[in-house]
Amino acid sequence: MAEQEIPKDFFEFMQKMWNPMGFPIPGMIAPTMNVEDLDKKIAELKAVETWLTMNTGFVQMTIKTLEMQRAGLESLQAAGKAAAESVKKTPG
């Protein structure tokens, strides 16, 4: 099975979202001592978390919708087969 390719632009987008200036993220090497910087980073990360949570909900809803569609199609196919068999069995 071939691996699915993820566009390079996606990784660039996520990198820019995570670290827009391209510098090491504060706190990764030495802790940041500026409360305002920490508050800004926390707000940014909460926005990303909200976006990811929302998209997870959309994916879950899409999966449930497709499962319901599959169940509906299976029911219709079974009903069609049963109707076809009952027509074949009736003497005529």
Domains in the chain: boundaries: 35-87
CA distance 44 to 18: 8
Report the predicted TM-score, pTM, of the whole model to 2 decimal places: 0.53
Q: For the chain, what is the radius of gyration of the CA atoms?
A: 26
Spatial distance between the Cα atoms of 53 and 1, rounded to a whole number of angstroms: 29
Predicted local confidence at residue 86, as pLDDT: 86
CA separation for the pair 50, 46 (Å, rounded): 6
Query: How do the pLDDT tens digits run along the chain, 92 residues long?
Result: 455 555 567 666 766 766 665 555 555 556 667 899 889 999 999 999 999 999 999 999 999 999 999 999 999 999 999 988 888 887 75
